[in-house]
A and B are shown apart, each in its own frame.
Chain A
Amino acid sequence: MSLRRRLPNPTLAALHPDVLPGGVERILLVGGWSPEADGLLATLRRGFRDPRIWLLTPSPIPAPGGIAAVWEGTVADQQIRRQARDARLDLVVPLEPYDLLGSTRFALERFALAVGARAVAVHEKAYGTVRIATRPHLHYRVSIRPWACRFFGGLALLGVVAPLYVVYWVARRVGLWRGPSHAEDRL
């Protein structure tokens, strides 16, 4: 049986008080505050029946309504990590939409694991919804070390992009490719 089949299914679920065993009572929002975040905050408060919510943000701001406290810093700060560990977080929620390939996603998930959070939320801007990625996801994903990610990722990129770039460069030099002409794009 594959590893994937042994994991709880589904590992991502709709926002709901029972999405994590024992409920969700302590949440950390991460990122810059914007008017959009009000909506997310309301969703979280409604979905999880008034949890305690902290905000980790890079620049100091007065605590918005519904936020217990604002922590100034980043996920890389040791002091922040200690605070987060002490807070015994259930859920870490990025304020920016989840970038599926981005390094911020990677940093956030590693932070969540390091501070013992039980889950990370996936915030999909388009749908105004929050999805929860539970701990098993984190546990297995971070078993791939960042250096290995960079190495194999770099190799994959190089192996695919470099040959194609050579073909492109030659095509350009010999005049086979003169750039796109959208106005005359026909099929």
Chain B
Amino acid sequence: MTPASPKAPTPGEAAETAAIKDALVRFYAGTRATLEKDFLDPAVPLGSEVFFRETEATRYRLYPYLPSLVGFERWAGKRVLEVGTGMGVDHVRFARAGATLTGVDLTPSHLQITAARLKREGLASRLLQGDAERLPCGDASFDHVYSCGVLFLVPDIQRAVDEVYRILKPGGEALVMLYHRTSFHHYLKTLAFMGLVWGDLLYLTRQKLVDWSADGYDYPIIRLYSRRQARRIFGRFAEVRMAVRTLTPAEFPVIGQRLPTDFLEFAARRFGFFLFIRAVKG
């Protein structure tokens, strides 16, 4: 199946897209650590030994299923691209496993942190500043494309997924994490509690509330996806499988800390906030 040629954006859409990307770069330039933001001591200097150690430990403590779900070791000797390297925690795992790595990120500061993390362990990766909607890579050049918590920020996700499709070799696999719409985080915490009970929807738009609740008030824009929407976006792939994970006590006001961890794990399988999509190019 050949990817359809993308529709040219109108001048207004192009300007809006450029503004969102610019805002993303500015946002991340001022951000210490994105994924571990609530758990990392702000006194820890960015790029220090403690920073690298703690961001990695925190990530896999928060998301213990990640190493197994991603299967870093499976990609030893294969060509892997990570779209949105962020703090470089997963990127270095691919490098340790022996993958031939490329990393793309829109934000220079992320690339610097990732490069420093790799250098500290004597590992290598080709790091490129680039845009998920126009990946700076040739057609059919990767066995695996990995993107965790990035593509929901992209103004045109369909274009980004088409790009992933383009650069994957036939039989190659993409693993993408998006935020899940049908989740406790969205319906219970954000809309029901923050929006209605706490009344934040009286002065914030729904989009701003979603941004604030998910990642911080200044986030340029965050989109959430249901399984059905994700299936449509990845429609041109030969095989698509999905899994939902991550449900924290913070998503249940008052009673969150009293709920058994096992129950949260059970509920996370259906109503968690992270939607993982594994898609295979035919």
Contact = CB atoms under 8 A, between A and B. Distances in A.
Nearest to B32: A126
Q: Which of A101, A124, A165 has the most CB of B within 10 A?
A: A101
A143 B198 CA distance: 10
A182 B192 CA distance: 30
B267 A185 contact: no
Given A160-B184, A185-B69, A35 B198 contact: no
A131 B212 CA distance: 12
- Interface class of chain A by DSSP: helix
A11 B203 CA distance: 7
Given A100-B194, A161-B255, A140 B218 contact: no
Nearest to B70: A187
A182 B67 CA distance: 9
Interface stretch (B16-24, B125-133, B139-147, B246-254): B246-254
A157 B199 contact: no
Given A124-B216, A124-B217, A126-B216, A144 B197 contact: yes
Contact of B212 (A100, A105, A129): A100
B230 interface: no
A161 B42 contact: no
B15 interface: no
Interface in B1-59: 30-34, 37-38, 40, 42-43
Contacts of B65: 180, 182, 185
Contacts of A106: 198
Interface residues of B, number: 54
Given A7-B203, A122-B217, A187 B243 contact: yes
Contacts of B263: 165, 168
A125 B69 CA distance: 30
B253 A153 contact: yes
A143 B203 CA distance: 13
Interface string A1-27: 001100100011000000000000000
Contacts of A144: 197-199
B38 A101 contact: no
A101 B175 contact: no
Contacts of B192: 153, 156
Interface of B: 30-34, 37-38, 40, 42-43, 64-65, 68-69, 71, 175, 184, 188-189, 192-194, 196-205, 212-213, 216-218, 241-243, 250, 252-255, 259, 262-263, 265-267, 271, 276, 278
13 contacts: A4-B204, A4-B205, A11-B203, A35-B43, A36-B43, A105-B198, A136-B203, A153-B197, A156-B193, A180-B265, A185-B68, A187-B175, A187-B241
Given A35-B43, A160-B188, A172-B262, 20 more contacts: A100-B198, A101-B189, A125-B38, A125-B42, A126-B32, A126-B37, A126-B38, A137-B203, A141-B198, A153-B197, A156-B197, A157-B255, A160-B184, A161-B252, A161-B259, A164-B271, A180-B65, A185-B68, A186-B68, A186-B71
The 4 closest A-B pairs by CB, nearest first: A126-B37, A141-B199, A185-B65, A180-B265
Interface of A: 3-4, 7, 11-12, 35-36, 39, 97, 100-101, 103, 105-106, 122, 124-129, 131, 136-137, 140-144, 149, 152-153, 156-157, 160-161, 164-165, 168, 171-172, 177, 179-180, 182-187
